[in-house]
A = this chain, B = another copy of it.
């Protein structure tokens, strides 16, 4: 099969690799029909996070080709959505909903605990371990118009939702969303879905701001840093926001988040902390009773409820995909995202 390989910063190539098959009885092999590039894939591509050569990609959906003997929840031919990590669904942490802390689970693009490769999501096929715990079937065809929206449930919509849940967005409340990437935009949509009355999106890119408005932002603040803080405080009568959804993970975005949250408010964060220096300023949190919640989103846990809302038309996060590339042209997709020519790139294998 063909699959994307991360070679070194700035270099992702599509090449021939062995076809996967069922290795363990709890496996399923999925023929990927739609995949995509994550903002976090850009960190190694930019050389900010080190990683070795190998398979890449962790967001995909597709059709089940083959299942192991112990798989009972999904069948060959099902269209399934894969959350961005695989998980057993049975351990103490999965049962509590924290599937990203699964005792046996793991990521795509590296070996499982038995030493068998788990393919990356940016490829034609993926062996998915713990298929029953991991995959969620959707009653749609691979060419359904809602495929982009469904693909976001693999990561960015679940992650945006996690930001909103973690930030305790509640009906009637005020939410500020820091970050206008795909996750930030999904966080706007999630905040609206949870009933926020006022949603202030920070975005200095008009194309992204336009989507934020479509997704439910009531206000857009187009400046950064101290100016953004001043504008948000003005918009909130000097009080600050009940909920701040931090969807970047850099020191500057955290500074903004902590400066616009009201006393007793909550920062829900999902931005992979790639560039946060020095840790969180505890004294600042202490004096103002700011809660910090969030982390790596348990997308699997949220998938059923979000799937229902995509299928019934309540939410459509699909517009975060602003371009498509064929798997053979994936390098172009990385470049487009890196250069901000595209918010998020859908990859067709």
Give the interface SS of chain A, mostly helix, strand, loop or mixed: mixed
- C-alpha spacing A272/B283, complex, angstroms: 8
Q: Does A1 contact B (CB under 8 A)?
A: no
Asked whether B293 lies within 8 Å of A291 as measured between CB atoms, the reply is yes
A289 and B298 contact, Cβ closer than 8 Å, known pairs A93-B264, A263-B98, A263-B101: yes
From A31-39, A60-68, A273-281, A311-319, the one touching the partner chain is A273-281
Chain B residues with CB under 8 Å of A298's CB are 264, 289
Chain B residues with CB under 8 Å of A280's CB are 279-280, 282, 285, 292
Chain B residues with CB under 8 Å of A272's CB are 286
Q: Which residue of B lies closest to A242 (CB)?
A: B96
- C-alpha spacing A166/B296, complex, angstroms: 21
Chain B residues with CB under 8 Å of A273's CB are 282-283, 286
Oligomer: number of copies: 2
Asked whether B282 lies within 8 Å of A281 as measured between CB atoms, the reply is no
- Residues of chain A from 220 to 259 with CB closer than 8 A to chain B in the complex: 237, 239
Per-position contact with B for A95-107: 1 when CB-CB < 8 Å, else 0? 0111011000000
Q: Identify the 9 closest CB pairs spanning chains A and B, nearest first.
A: A279-B279, A101-B263, A289-B295, A280-B280, A291-B293, A98-B264, A286-B295, A98-B263, A273-B282
Chain B residues with CB under 8 Å of A287's CB are 295-296
A296 and B286 contact, Cβ closer than 8 Å, known pairs A96-B264, A264-B97, A279-B281: yes
A223 to chain B: closest CB distance in Å? 25
- Further contacts, 14 of them, CB under 8 A, given A272-B286, A278-B278, A289-B295: A92-B237, A93-B239, A93-B262, A98-B264, A101-B263, A264-B298, A269-B286, A276-B283, A280-B280, A286-B294, A287-B296, A290-B295, A291-B291, A293-B293
